[in-house]
Chains A and B, each alone.
Chain A
């Protein structure tokens, strides 16, 4: 009864965290180190899910990616496949909702790196990518790591947007929070408590371990 939901949750959180980390890092670098028109607007749009109720975010997602959605409709007529009610939809929801946390923390972390180190790297003949990977990234590591942890935590607890676009199908898209919701609403208190306890245990353990890990690696970086 518990393993299917736990499995879906772990799968969704792993994929969403990887996606959020990659996407968030690229965007954070763009926003921190580049100037282009509409830059702050892009930041604001990407931060919206932090402010909007998740159900509203989910509704937007379904309007964009649903079978009749703006991007979902062409995808459907092209491939006959729709994202709605699949586990990648849950990944999508978790990613969109977690991205602002990754973006905000890593943008601040990258901005706090003194540009003179990057400039020094350029004068020594290193390209932009090499400089980013070997100078900026290590110096901003703690903030970025914090961003990844926060994103993973947010992805694990994601509920509203997931319910909207991925549905609540046991064994397929039913994550731990959705299983708790269903157990509570159908009056199965014992199952709800058990699931909630497991979810809490996982979150606390993950956060504690990352704190320990980032403190030792921080000392190592300093």
Chain B
């Protein structure tokens, strides 16, 4: 009775390997005409980049494979020679580290988007008054504030800078809840486990029914949040890779990024976010 089961399992496995391997010959010779590139991008860019990638594919016929992950992991993979053509990081730190090791093409590096740090609160608090960010953070009624772990999460590092600028970092210590990624901060706030959180504007979906943007960090309260993109030096498809970077920087690409709440590099530095200028603090 067990033999047939084993046999059918093996057959299923063989079929699976068969179907998975069949398309390989197409991909195995990417150097001939239909090019194919691999783009390693911070997972926070997923929606915007998938859209830009679709448009780029439609326009050029080059296939774009995405590898989404935490910027630090993507950096390590490139350091160890992973076959990546383009790297888009959520922080300059990771890109600088690769540049220092000469692993990216310096002339094919550019900042492609900016972001803003915002204070988010649960929807249930939406009807209250909105004082300035500093007044709000300093008030004793605020018990817990969630931020990303400054050691590992770029948004957490900017949150630390903001709190330090406001001279609140020391006294806020007992009230801080450190999260391992931005999504966790959003979750804590949405579930009202904390009273507020600090995340990027682009992390709050326009359709979000659980949290709202209560205030925006003032310009100059933390380093500018910039997203760098570059062609990886070992890329075997440099032309296509440069083409993708150009597509991200193009007006079309910038409009897609704006649509997902990133701030286009085509906009002036001191311009507020398109939708929340009313709520800006101070």
Chain A interface (Cβ within 8 Å of chain B)?
7-8, 10-11, 14-15, 18, 55, 59, 62-63, 66-69, 72-73, 76, 82, 84-85, 87, 163-164, 167-170, 172, 182, 184-187, 213, 217
Contact = CB atoms under 8 A, between A and B. Distances in A.
A82 B78 CA distance: 13
Given A62-B77, A187-B186, 6 more contacts: A11-B16, A84-B80, A169-B65, A169-B66, A186-B43, A186-B46
A164 B38 contact: no
A133 B186 CA distance: 56
B266 interface: no
A81 to B, nearest CB: 10
Contacts of A76: 81
Given A14-B13, A187-B183, A167 B69 contact: yes
Interface in B205-244: 205, 234
27 contacts: A7-B16, A10-B16, A14-B9, A14-B12, A15-B17, A62-B82, A66-B77, A67-B81, A68-B80, A76-B81, A84-B81, A85-B83, A163-B73, A164-B76, A167-B77, A168-B69, A169-B65, A170-B65, A172-B65, A182-B46, A182-B68, A184-B183, A185-B181, A185-B183, A186-B68, A187-B186, A217-B2
B187 to A, nearest CB: 9
Contacts of B67: 85, 167-169
A73 B80 CA distance: 10
A55 B180 CA distance: 14
Interface of B: 2, 9, 12-13, 16-17, 19-20, 38, 40, 43-44, 46-47, 65-69, 73, 76-77, 79-84, 181, 183, 186, 203, 205, 234
Contacts of A169: 38, 65-67
Given A185-B43, A185-B183, A168 B81 contact: no
Nearest to B65: A169
A179 B16 CA distance: 19
Given A163-B69, A167-B67, A172-B65, A66 B46 contact: no
A72 B9 CA distance: 32
Contact of B82 (A14, A73, A84, A213): A84
Contacts of B20: 7-8, 11, 87
A75 to B, nearest CB: 11
Given A85-B38, A169-B65, A11 B81 contact: no
